[in-house]
Structure 1
Amino acid sequence: MKSEKTNCLIVDDEPLAANLLKKHLEQFSQLHLVAACGNALEAFNLLQKESIDLLFLDIQMPGIDGIKFARSLLHPPSIIFTTAYRDYAVESYELDIVDYLLKPITIDRFLKSINKYLLRTDNQRLSFARAEKEESSGEQSIYVNTNRKYVKVLFEEILYVESLKDYVRINLPGQCITTKDKITDFEQKLPHHFFRVHRSYIVNIRKITAYTMHDIEINGKEIPIGISYKKEVITFLKRTSANE
């Protein structure tokens, strides 16, 4: 669990819904509500001045809706969408959000969302801590079960790893190997020069050939940077390139 406070921002044009979120937030000592905004423009101006870790964002709002607003942010915080409609679930998850809460939001459902956020940020910090350590001697390869046999895969040959629900696809130069494993579990088996940039992708930082604010390029493949990973990923890549 994170020891520091998580700065939160509520963006909702419905006062009753915003007040309910405020009450839920007050139940958690590690959550700090910085402000509550009634529209996207007000929220945008506040994000320029305040450091926000977690955004509770309503989808249906006058002017700019929550999904368009999230897409407009270059360095968005982690996002939990709040809405009275189920219709936006698929579209919102394409933005790699933490969670999607249906109104009225109960304290039990709110707690699950906060646990998701804390687990994700803890895993990110662990991944980046491993990436910044000096290289140590250790295992240089891993055996993975594919097509009923165990195949040796050298860590240095792995370009990136992609999640396929209950499987992961290990992308190597000229070939791919698929094995039954959750990407979060597989991540723990990799050495420090691998880190998560999206809920569906882990990359080998030594294989990155280019990057933008939205994606990383490895061997001609553009790998998206997830919204909730973006801030730390870009900071890490800029620091790495500056040290080279």
Structure 2
Amino acid sequence: MIKCIAIDDEPLALQQLVTYISKIPFLSIVGQCQGAIEAKQIMENEVVDAIFCDINMPDINGMDFVKSLASPPIIVFTTAYSEYAVEGYKVDAVDYLLKPFGLDEFQRAANKVKRVYEQINGSDPSSVQSVSDGSEDASTLFFKTEHRIVKVDIADIVYVEGMSEYMKIHLISQPKPLIVLLSMKKLEERLPANFMRIHRSYIINLDKIIEVNKNRVIIDKDAYLPIGDLYRDTFNNYLNTRFLGK
């Protein structure tokens, strides 16, 4: 089931979106709202695979809202203004519905959402795959993120941050983290020995540690990561094997 939210500042238009979504068997509505601020709040608490979003809204317009998302889900824009169509495709919207639209047009847009969702998720629920010549020390991983499959050098990973069903993968080479649908356990199994879980929400690249300060690991000037009680002994044992001094 593809989890969706509907966004439109006009109550009747919003109700139409919700009604159409409810008529598509592979779509599930997890939130409806009249503005981008409320939509962000929903996305903080719900897994959202697709957004059906109006463009002209009073607080933040739909286009700017989508651009503000670190890892946007699948987007379908709805608007009464045809001049937004080209701009809509520039932000990787899978479709653009010009108001007023009927159920047939909505069904075609929903089918595009379904195709993209299946391309992202595939029949294999895993979102990560190692690439190697058969050895276990593969230096590259592929991650499914947004509507792309991204190749990542393992050495480029600084740390991984868990967020419910999603993870943020912080890289040296990119200012923004990759956001992927994947469990910490599954990624932990695929990472080499120089990665260690130090907290239920953090896996770190041990080679990137700058300092250990009491119950925190400092990775860089902006990353102070806590050491969880369940992981403290294992981490301290690692430090003891490399500690020089009295």
**Same-fold call, TM > 0.5?**
yes
Matched, 1:34 2:52: no
Residue equivalent to 2:21? 25
Deviation at residue 131 of structure 1 after TM alignment: 4.7
After superposition, the C-alpha distances for 1:123-156 in whole angstroms (9 at most, x for unaligned) are 122388485267576xxxxxxxxxxxxxxxxxxx
Deviation at residue 23 of structure 1 after TM alignment: 1.8
Matched, 1:79 2:75: yes
Mapping of residues 1-244 of structure 1, within 5 Å: 5-126=1-122, 129=126, 131-132=128-129, 203-206=150-153, 209=156, 231-232=179-180, 242=203
CA distance in 1, matches of 2:151, 2:37: 38
Check 1:65–1:129 CA distance in 2 against 1; reply closer, same or farther (3 A cut).
Answer: same
Output the TM-score relative to the length of structure 2. 0.57
Between 1 and 2, higher relative CO (CA 8 Å, sep ≥ 6) is seen in 1
In structure 2, the gaps of 5 or more residues are 135-139, 159-167, 196-202, 206-246
Check 1:97–1:208 CA distance in 2 against 1; reply closer, same or farther (3 A cut).
Answer: farther
Residue equivalent to 1:140? none
Contact preservation (8 Å) 2:5, 2:48: yes
| Structure exhibiting the larger radius of gyration computed from Cα positions | 2
Deviation at residue 62 of structure 1 after TM alignment: 0.9
After superposition, the C-alpha distances for 1:173-193 in whole angstroms (9 at most, x for unaligned) are xxxxxxxxxxxxxxxxxxx96
In the alignment, residue 132 of structure 1 is paired with which amino acid?
Q
| Regions of 4+ moved over 6 Å | 213-218, 233-236
Aligned partner of residue 124 in structure 1, secondary structure: helix
After superposition, the C-alpha distances for 1:19-58 in whole angstroms (9 at most, x for unaligned) are 2212211212222212221111222222222222211110
CA distance in 2, matches of 1:217, 1:101: 39
In structure 1, the gaps of 5 or more residues are 138-191
What is the aligned residue count? 181
After superposition, the C-alpha distances for 1:86-111 in whole angstroms (9 at most, x for unaligned) are 11122222211222111112212211
Deviation at residue 12 of structure 1 after TM alignment: 0.2
Check 1:214–1:79 CA distance in 2 against 1; reply closer, same or farther (3 A cut).
Answer: farther
Check 1:234–1:111 CA distance in 2 against 1; reply closer, same or farther (3 A cut).
Answer: same
After superposition, the C-alpha distances for 1:153-204 in whole angstroms (9 at most, x for unaligned) are xxxxxxxxxxxxxxxxxxxxxxxxxxxxxxxxxxxxxxx96666676x7654
Contact preservation (8 Å) 1:84, 1:103: yes
Residue equivalent to 1:185? none
In the alignment, residue 63 of structure 1 is paired with which amino acid?
D
Aligned partner of residue 19 in structure 1, secondary structure: helix
CA distance in 2, matches of 1:33, 1:235: 24
In the alignment, residue 124 of structure 1 is paired with which amino acid?
I
CA distance in 1, matches of 2:172, 2:82: 34
Deviation at residue 73 of structure 1 after TM alignment: 1.9
CA distance in 2, matches of 1:233, 1:48: 14
Check 1:11–1:130 CA distance in 2 against 1; reply closer, same or farther (3 A cut).
Answer: closer
CA distance in 2, matches of 1:99, 1:215: 30
CA distance in 2, matches of 1:214, 1:193: 12
Contact preservation (8 Å) 1:99, 1:113: yes
Contact preservation (8 Å) 1:96, 1:198: no
Aligned partner of residue 33 in structure 1, secondary structure: strand
Percent of paired sites with the same residue? 31
Residue equivalent to 1:174? none
CA distance in 1, matches of 2:41, 2:113: 24
